Chain A
Amino acid sequence: MVEVRLEKVSKIFGRVRAVDNVTVTFPESRFSVMLGPSGSGKSTTLYLVAGIYKPTNGSIYFGDKDVTNLPPKDRNVGLVFQNYALYPHMSVYENIAFPLRLQKLDESTIATKVNEVAKLLRIEELLDRYPSQLSGGQQQRVALARALAKEPSVLLLDEPLSNLDALLRLTIRAELKKLQQKLGITAIHVTHDQAEALSMADVIIVMDQGRVEQVGTPHEVYYKPRSLFVAGFIGSPPANILSGRIERIKDALVIEVAGARFEPSEDHLAVLRESNLEDIVIAFRPEHVLLVDEPIGRNLNVEAEVYVTEPLGKETIVTLVVAGNLMIKAVASPDYSLRSGEKVYVSVPRNKIMLFDPATGLNILHIAGESEPA
């Protein structure tokens, strides 16, 4: 097992910068997930690791070994595609045996290995069938078996779950993670499904427009987004984003937003006092919103009108209008009954509020952290 390291890697297709100066480490024996919207360069990055694409600039390392110019066949990686890409003219057995045959192993070793990996993925009874005779979930297992058969040092997964139906996806998601832990393999998984990323990942790499927006644990990415993009992309529904102004009167510093004023938390105050920001973007998660009749202490309290409620069973999503035309989403308990047009206060505790620099889109706490000398 090796760690995979990209150093200042760019990939340019014609005039498109698909991957833009990416430096990132996928830790050894961990499950890394690249998350981003379509066109964010995550699949391209995966193909760069696989060797299907060659980087325009930069270097790729497996451990200490520079693999930048190695063809895919010499990298010992396993790759599973969204459409599985099984070989339709070969039986399941032959599909799994294909990479082993290329290693010129003898027939009995191949049989042992195929049966071993088939057992691991519980597809022993499918070995004689052809891909066209399999369901999506079964094809997915076969593709995974084929990728694992040659015992790769890195397992690459390109949205392998997105062609499965919702229920199966949940099952395989858990199994895939279990499998990775059992084998201790370095896995890199690409997805646009944040629930998938949050549930499976040891490390999430959030990508947008060919750049890495944030690298962190699911918890960090969710609760400490480095940029507005991450805050707006992750979470279901994603974070509410409002623009505000900073008002400095002598020593006091308050933020004005949607007709309301609040004093930022101590951490924020410390950073804001050092800066000369005038405009600010504030963000908060829908589940941190309290819907109350009266303002609460030092929280951010904004007058709002209920626009629509969507009961989802375990919770109710409430959409509210503040300051005339801004929409806010809040998660309320399912027994919370509100009617459209009703007036309430949107109340957010100070420590749940995130602040971003409108010019760079970066979290002001991160700016402070990153500018410190290493």
Chain B
Amino acid sequence: MSYKVLRILRRRRYVMRYDVETIPARKINITLGVAVGLATLPVVAIYVLLTLSSFADRMLSGPDILEADYSIENWRLFFQGKLDPAATSLYSFKELIMIILNTLIVAAGVTVIVVLVSVMAGYAFSRMKFPGRRELMEFLLLLHAFPGVALIIAVYAIYVWSLKGIPSDILVPYRFTYTIFARAALEIPLSIWLMKGFFDKIPWEVEWSALVDGASRFKTWFSILLPQVKPGIAAIAVFAFLAGWEDLIYVHVFLYTGGIKTLATLIEEVIGNIETAYLPIAAAAGTLYLLPTIIFFIFTQRFLLEALTGGVKG
């Protein structure tokens, strides 16, 4: 083709001018940034308003941010158990600490169970051949699709039936254990899938190397494979912790009915009747409740991102 023809073609834009890869990366980043920013703006705005309200003398809704008076009064009242500046104390500071501890016990318990089960089961699904492996994997996915609310009747029935055999002096630990296991069971299916994905990415050769180097299968799993799936463990641990921390239904059904409160059920109480509740104090309760979520996401977002993108490093 002569130069002249090429020139004509180019003038008529028959010739592609850019390779696909040469779209400037900056342009993409800016576009993505703006899009993500816009999408998350409402959520971020609500969080900011909630946090600010907990320090304000009224419930903020936007433009009144500048007019309100700010103090730590709401927090003080909340810690004293006063849900209204004029009300009498509903609970003591000590009781609030107990409530936070209860929440932590449930969250930590769920985390430990989920991590233990998922790390071992994920390895088995990734690396071992056994009959029904594929079917079980698919079944897990199906389990994940079940909402916890739908299962609660059956789980409650078993709970009530099992309570008969429990001596009253260990009833409280039993209620915690039952809640933790029931809640963990909802998290485990997806966590197993996540962990399997992480184990899948470790080449067989690494495992074989360790076996040839003289390690047992368990030793290989523990000291060679586990360190390499740390991001996955971190991710499922965070998800499990938050699931336990935020859970309302299971906690309400198995603990609250036994007189054990957690932050979720406390907030349920605090807000009680939304029309009469003093909202700035409820905002303080809400902010406290959200704190671990925010802290966790700030410190582990790198791990979480890696887990959500299938562990592919960007």
Contact = CB atoms under 8 A, between A and B. Distances in A.
Interface residues of B, number: 17
A98 interface: yes
B211 A73 contact: yes
Secondary structure dominating the interface of A: loop
Interface in A97-113: 98-99, 102-103
Secondary structure dominating the interface of B: helix
Nearest to B216: A73
B210 A78 contact: no
A81 interface: yes
Given A87-B224, A89-B228, A52 B208 contact: yes
Nearest to A158: B205
B219 A102 contact: yes
Interface in B194-232: 203, 205-206, 208-216, 219, 224, 227-228, 230
A77 interface: yes
A180 interface: no
A288 B203 CA distance: 45
A73 B203 contact: no
A73 B205 contact: no
Interface residues of A, number: 25
Q: Which of B212, B213, B214, B230 has the most CB of A within 10 A?
A: B212
Contacts of B214: 73, 99, 102-103, 150
Interface in A1-59: 47, 50-52
A50 B212 contact: yes
A88 B230 CA distance: 12
Given A88-B228, A89-B228, A81 B213 contact: no
A85 B205 contact: yes
A71 B205 contact: no
A30 to B, nearest CB: 21
Nearest to B202: A88
Contact of A71 (B211, B227, B228): B211
B127 to A, nearest CB: 13
B212 A51 contact: yes
Given A47-B208, A79-B209, A146-B213, 10 more contacts: A51-B212, A77-B212, A82-B205, A85-B209, A87-B209, A89-B230, A98-B210, A98-B215, A102-B214, A102-B215
